[in-house]
C-alpha cells in the first residue's frame, strides 16, 4: 500500500534557487517543531537533491528526510532552542558551524525515514551514539534527548497541518523582478499571479513575469486591502504580500 506520509511536497525553491522538496512526514515534523517554538523555521536546503546539493553536504540530502535550517535569522538562544525542539520531535539535528567549514546552519535528519540516503542513516547512528556525524566523529553538541521515532504513517491529528503545506515566496527576489518589470520568469511570481487571480477574480497570464498587467493587478490588491497611498505602487511590500499569501503561500 502506498504511504502518503512519504509523498513528496514541493515547496518552491530554496534560497540558492534549487527545487525545495521534502516528504510530508519531514514537513509534519518540522511543523510540529515550529508549533513548539512558536515561530517559523526557514529551510535553506531540502531533500531529494541528488546531484544538486551543496558540496559540503555530501550525499546526505540526495534522498528523503534531510533538511537544513537557517540559523542567521535566530539569536544564539533561539538556535539552541531550535536544536532542542528538532531533537525532541525526533530529528537527528546537528548545529553545523563555520569552524567546521560550513555556512552556519542546522542539519536535520528525520530518524526512521525509510528513504534516507545511507550516508544520512549513518549520521542517525552517530547521533544516537552522541557523535556529530562528521568524518572526524566528534562529540555531539547541545542537549541529548531521548531517542524517539515520529509516526511512519500519517496520523489523522496532523493531516490537516500537512495539507496546508504552502509554497514560499522570497520577498527580495520578487521585489527586484517587479521593479525590473518582469524581465525574467520566476516561480515565485507565478505563485503571486495565481493568488492575484484567485483573490481579485482576474485572468492574468501565469507566466512568472512581473509585467505591466501583473503590476497593475498588484496595485489593485494593495488598494483593495486599504494600503496607505504611498504603498500603492504595484511593488510587493512585506505587509501586502503577506496579506496576499494568507492561506496560499509563505513570505520569507
Ligand atoms: Zn544538511
> What distance in angstroms lies between residue 14's CA and the mean position of ligand 1's atoms?
13
Mean pLDDT of 241-247: 88
CA distances to 11, 12, 16, 34 from 19, rounded to whole Å, are 8, 6, 9, 22
Average per-residue pLDDT for the chain: 92
What's the 38 CA to ligand 1 centre distance in angstroms?
A: 23
Query: pLDDT tens, 41-63?
Result: 999 999 999 988 888 888 999 99
Strand partners, 107: 68, 94
CA of residue 83 to ligand 1 center, whole Å: 14
CA distance linking residue 8 with residue 157, whole number of Å: 20
**The three three-digit cell numbers of residue 243, written as one number:** 496579506
Q: Which domains does the chain have, with CATH numbers?
A: 4-163 (3.30.1380), 168-251 (1.10.101)
pLDDT of residue 204: 92
Å from CA of 33 to ligand 1 middle: 17
Query: pLDDT per residue over 120-173, tens digit each?
Result: 999 999 999 999 999 999 999 999 999 999 999 887 776 655 655 678 899 999
Beta strands 43-45 and 19-23, pairing class: unpaired
- Ligand 1: centre distance to CA 229 (Å): 44
pLDDT at 247: 75
Q: Helices then strands (H, E): number in the chain?
A: 8, 8
How far, in Å, from the CA of 183 to the mean position of ligand 1? 33
Nearest 5°: phi and psi at 198?
-70, -45
Beta bridge partners of 96: 105
For residue 155, what pLDDT is reported?
79
Ion ligand 1 nearby residues (CB, 5 A) = 57, 68, 107
Amino acid at each position: 500500500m502506498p504511504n502518503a506520509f512519504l509523498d513528496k511536497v514541493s515547496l518552491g525553491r530554496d534560497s540558492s534557487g534549487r527545487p525545495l522538496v521534502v516528504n510530508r512526514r519531514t514537513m509534519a515534523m518540522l511543523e510540529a517543531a515550529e508549533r513548539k517554538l512558536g515561530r517559523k523555521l526557514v529551510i535553506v536546503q531540502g531533500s531529494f537533491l541528488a546531484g544538486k546539493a551543496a558540496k559540503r553536504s555530501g550525499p546526505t540530502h540526495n534522498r528523503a528526510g534531510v533538511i537544513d535550517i537557517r540559523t542567521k535569522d535566530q539569536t544564539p538562544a533561539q538556535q539552541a532552542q531550535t536544536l532542542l525542539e528538532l531533537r525532541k520531535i525526533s530529528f537527528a539535528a546537528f548545529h553545523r558551524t563555520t569552524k567546521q567549514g560550513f555556512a552556519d546552519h542546522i542539519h536535520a535528519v528525520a530518524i526512521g525515514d525509510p528513504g534516507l540516503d545511507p550516508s544520512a542513516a549513518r549520521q542517525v547512528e552517530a547521533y544516537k551514539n552522541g557523535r556529530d556525524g562528521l568524518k572526524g566523529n566528534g562529540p555531539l553538541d547541545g542537549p541529548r534527548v531521548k531517542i524517539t521515532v515520529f509516526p511512519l504513517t500519517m496520523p489523522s491529528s496532523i493531516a490537516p497541518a500537512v495539507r496546508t503545506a504552502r509554497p514560499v515566496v522570497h520577498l527580495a527576489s520578487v521585489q527586484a523582478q517587479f521593479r525590473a518589470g518582469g524581465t525574467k520568469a520566476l516561480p515565485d511570481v507565478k505563485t503571486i499571479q495565481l493568488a492575484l487571480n484567485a483573490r481579485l477574480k482576474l485572468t492574468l497570464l501565469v507566466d512568472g513575469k512581473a509585467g505591466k498587467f501583473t503590476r497593475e493587478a498588484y496595485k489593485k490588491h494593495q488598494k483593495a486591502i486599504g494600503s496607505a497611498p504611498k504603498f500603492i505602487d504595484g511593488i510587493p511590500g512585506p505587509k501586502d504580500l503577506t496579506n496576499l499569501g494568507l492561506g496560499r503561500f509563505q513570505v520569507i
